[in-house]
Structure 1
Amino acid sequence: MGWLSGRFMCVLMAWVLAAPLAEAANRKQEVDRYISGFHQKGLFNGTVLVANEQGLLLKKGYGSANLEWKVPHAPDTKFRIGSITKSFTATVVLQLVAEGRLQLDDPITKHLPDYRGDTGGRVTITHLLNHTSGIPSYTSAPHFKADSVNPYGVAEFVKKSCSGDLAFEPGTKYAYNNCGYYLLGALIEQLTGQTYAQAVQARIFGPLGMKDSGYDVTATVLPKRASGYAPTPGGYVNAPYLDMGQPYAAGSLYSTVEDLYRWERAFHGDTLMPAELKQKMLTPGLQRYGFGWVITPMQLHDGKTHVPIIFHSGGINGFSSLLVRVPERKEVVILLDNTTQGGLQEIAGGVLSILRGIAPRPARIPIGKVLMEALGKGSAAEAIATYRALKKAKEAQYDFGESQLNTVGYHLLRGGRVADAIAVFKLNVEMFPKEANCYDSLGEAYAAHGDKEQAIANYRKSLELDAKNEHAVKMLEALEQPAATR
């Protein structure tokens, strides 16, 4: 009896130990199949890392790091991570706070004495960290695209592009702002006596063993660096050149999914900064933005479950990135893409759904992608006809979200096809008559076309639907001014 009982206990223990391993293997396969579905439909091309409190669940590359040579992606492929850079910049700033070199309520002129005093004396370090400074972002300036290929020194760029008149009183509103983080980079250099790249290397990359991360310099021969691509109506093209001195502390770092996993794991302890400063960093401010991170709930694919997450995304010529953390379960989803796909939050939401036993939405082809291809072969009228036909016959297979037509319309607008952009934006208004953003975009296209009356009408409609639409307010002020005062 004792022998039978002992044997039963051994079998039971073996089953208890094997069950979690089998479940993890099944989850890994399910996540892999799910992401493969996006890759097969041309919606993801990059590397993925998924982990939980037990450790790594999936680490894999999908597609090519270089489309010309068909070099496959691998977990150590290096990507530009765009605005995920901001989480590193914010961390260095908070380390300087911990060292007593600055205070969060210091005005920026205390540490950047050459900055204009009338505005810099009212903008604090906190305002820069949480995008409430009111300083206009240089990436929104009309000349940015043409100027983005030019090299600048830090002081020169601050004076030229990050010293504009305040758009609002600091601390009163939120406006995502690359100037804020550029200025934080300049401040880091001023206080450490190092370049921004050296400071991040010495304070974060080196101590955490992030050997495959750094400040991206185009001229450097960097092993295993992915090439960046942009979609066009005719297919992918090499992404436009960007001088990496311009994104700087707001977006110029490169990394891998493996290194970003090391970065994420460091936040589960207090090695990066004291606990009280980490708490400040991860406390949501206006629009749920903390210091270098967004703190918000994510709705999973059952439409009912909400998971508290901490995340940051990134987008820079040819690259999209996303790092999503669920601290309470030590889950992380890291997605790096080199074809400017976007839609990474949909993938991350599906992965987190799978980890909770929730069936994810299958990969749906963005209708914007279909229209871009149609525009490469025919007219805007033919593309719109394709949209209507697919929505009627195969709606479940495509993503017909409001942003799809908006993206296509702006692609046409930037390409000088203003009349076609108007047609696409009008279709979006027809499909989403209660979305303020659709009318705002149509107003912008009419303004570009010189149709002031229609531009005003659409901006007014946008404001009716969203009284907080500051872009519409600003455009109406400009459009409704008497000609003599403009």
Structure 2
Amino acid sequence: MKKLILTIMIAIAAAAVAASAQTTAMPSAQQITVKVDEYMRSAVEVERFSGSILVARDGQPIVSKSYGMANVELDVPNKPNTVFRIASITKQFTATAIMMLQERGKLNVNDPFCKYLADCPAAWQPITIRHLLTMTSGIAGASVIEIGPLRGLPVPWDQWLEATKKKPLTSTPGENFRYNNSGYTLLGLIIERLSGKSYGEFLQENIFTPLVMKQTGYEDPRRIIKNRATGYRQLPGDPITNVPYAEIFGLYAAGGIYSTTEDLLLWDKALYTDKLLSRRSIDEMFTPFKEMIPGKSYASGWWTSKKFGHQEIGHGGNLAGFINYIARFPAERVTVIVLSNNGRGSSGKISSVLSAIVFGAPYEIPKERKAVAVASSVLDKYAGQYRVQLPMTNFIITNENGKLMALRDAEPKTEMFAESETDFFLKTEDIQFKFLKDTNGGVTGLIVHQGDGTLYEVMTGQKIK
């Protein structure tokens, strides 16, 4: 009996020591601030970061700083209250609005979407609201090109909807995950029809005003919005350039909100309370429908994944000179928000590094990438077609007069620069490639690292041609 008691006491003591060690392993606020400052100096110098960051623990900011210019022409610096277009971070607000309507008995997320849409195509009949929330509906959505040159003009929803109805599904509803804006555009339509208000009005009355998010709202290019930043793009070694304002399909309920780091912290804090939704609805919103990507799943307007051994719930947004990320670690009450008005930036990567600093995990300081010469005969071996399964996409690599070029689906062809014989990088985006070889030196595939980390951080492609 004494041995049993002694064993139990030792186990309790060991657990206490382990818990204490785990707690003390978290850096202090001062340590975090010093390391964040060091990292951000390099991010500004090397990666041309321009924007605002906020690191908080238990709802209190540890670091809240801004870098670069909100408006280069007028010499206006970014500040913590600078307003940024948050792009796809909008989706979490749309998902919250849908959950609000469910709590009020207006809908059920398991309802067929066609219950709320007249003249629904036969192929859409099996699609539920949950499928739209989790991007598993299979709806493709019509592009601007298919409907006409509409940039800068009010979006004709009726034309977009009719064109979208005619497109075939990309997969059986509920079967495959495919990131797109169309489902959230349709969710905005549901919010308007069931609430009797515009999408922007519903969010203002039910989310922004109750949370006193005074610098958050629905984007309108015609409105004067105080402290609004301009979107830019600057590549390493190149001058900064304006990015034309874009009002495109996929904004609206998929990407049409503007906000600040300060307001997004208010939003984050509200998600720990029942001020907007019950705990049950919040948990439902954060629960993935299926694990579609190894180690990373999509819930309703949020990605869920493990980072540094901690559960992260987050989302990014990228649009017309703005690139952003919000990361939440609910168990530890840690929040990292990165909003940038340099569209070439790497807000997702910066968010990951700032999170690593908070948890005492390892990270790397940004360094300038230097191109080296690689023989054209070596580049010839890399030429070919590579298929990536998640997401389903193709890279076509060509050697054009000693320059390795990458073409991804319908995107513009981009030059790849060598860091070594097998490692390459892009200057236009924070993307790196590593070519894989078999024991005989034959090229079998490639690994693609997307520095922004907002969707598929690491993709593996097999050489098929």
Q: Aligning the two structures, in what range does the TM-score lie when normalised by the shorter sequence?
A: 0.7 to 0.9
Residue 413 of structure 1, CA deviation: 7.9
Secondary structure of 2:49's partner? Answer: coil
Q: Pick from 88, 95, 100 the counterpart of residue 105 of structure 2.
A: 100
Could you tell me how far apart the structure 2 residues matched to 1:119 and 1:41 are?
Answer: 49
Q: Pick from 255, 278, 296 the counterpart of residue 305 of structure 2.
A: 296
Q: Does structure 1 conserve the Cα–Cα contact (< 8 Å) formed by 2:85 and 2:322?
A: yes
Q: 1:84 to 1:384 in 2, by over 3 A?
A: farther
Amino acid at match of 1:43: R
Q: 1:274 to 1:335 in 2, by over 3 A?
A: same
Matches within 5 A, 1:85-484: 85-114=90-119, 116-138=120-142, 143=146, 147-161=150-164, 164-231=167-234, 234-243=238-247, 246-286=250-290, 287=292, 288-298=297-307, 305-365=308-368, 409-410=406-407, 431-432=435-436, 433-435=443-445
Residue 410 of structure 1, CA deviation: 4.8
TM-score (norm 1): 0.71
Structure 2 runs not aligned, ≥5 long:
1-23, 380-394, 399-403, 425-432, 437-442, 449-459
List 4+ stretches of structure 1 deviating above 6 A. Answer: 382-385, 405-408
Could you tell me how far apart the structure 1 residues matched to 2:411 and 2:113 are?
Answer: 35
Residues matched between the structures, number: 387
Residue 284 of structure 1, CA deviation: 1.8
Q: Pick from 61, 66, 72 the counterpart of residue 61 of structure 1.
A: 66
Could you tell me how far apart the structure 2 residues matched to 1:259 and 1:142 are?
Answer: 35
Residue 240 of structure 1, CA deviation: 2.7
Q: Does structure 1 conserve the Cα–Cα contact (< 8 Å) formed by 2:323 and 2:346?
A: no
Q: Which residue of 2 aligns with 1:393?
A: none
Residue 408 of structure 1, CA deviation: 7.6
Amino acid at match of 2:183: G
Secondary structure of 2:190's partner? Answer: helix
Q: Does structure 1 conserve the Cα–Cα contact (< 8 Å) formed by 2:181 and 2:250?
A: no
Matches within 5 A, 1:61-80: 61-80=66-85
Question: Which has the higher mean CA deviation after the structures are superposed, 216-225 or 312-321?
Answer: 216-225
Residue 338 of structure 1, CA deviation: 0.4
Could you tell me how far apart the structure 2 residues matched to 1:437 and 1:196 are?
Answer: 40
Q: 1:340 to 1:124 in 2, by over 3 A?
A: same
Secondary structure of 1:50's partner? Answer: strand
Amino acid at match of 1:291: S
Amino acid at match of 2:268: E
Higher helix share: 1
Q: Does structure 1 conserve the Cα–Cα contact (< 8 Å) formed by 2:134 and 2:300?
A: yes
Matches within 5 A, 1:18-29: 23-29=28-34
Q: 1:263 to 1:145 in 2, by over 3 A?
A: farther
Q: Which residue of 1 aligns with 2:455?
A: none
Could you tell me how far apart the structure 1 residues matched to 2:198 and 2:136 are?
Answer: 25
Could you tell me how far apart the structure 2 residues matched to 1:199 and 1:190 are?
Answer: 11
Q: 1:353 to 1:437 in 2, by over 3 A?
A: closer
Q: Does structure 2 conserve the Cα–Cα contact (< 8 Å) formed by 1:320 and 1:336?
A: yes
Amino acid at match of 1:95: M
Structure 1 runs not aligned, ≥5 long:
1-18, 299-304, 372-381, 389-402, 439-460, 466-471, 473-486
Could you tell me how far apart the structure 2 residues matched to 1:413 and 1:121 are?
Answer: 30
Q: Does structure 2 conserve the Cα–Cα contact (< 8 Å) formed by 1:218 and 1:244?
A: no
TM-score (norm 2): 0.74
Could you tell me how far apart the structure 1 residues matched to 2:434 and 2:355 are?
Answer: 34
Secondary structure of 1:61's partner? Answer: strand
Secondary structure of 1:165's partner? Answer: coil
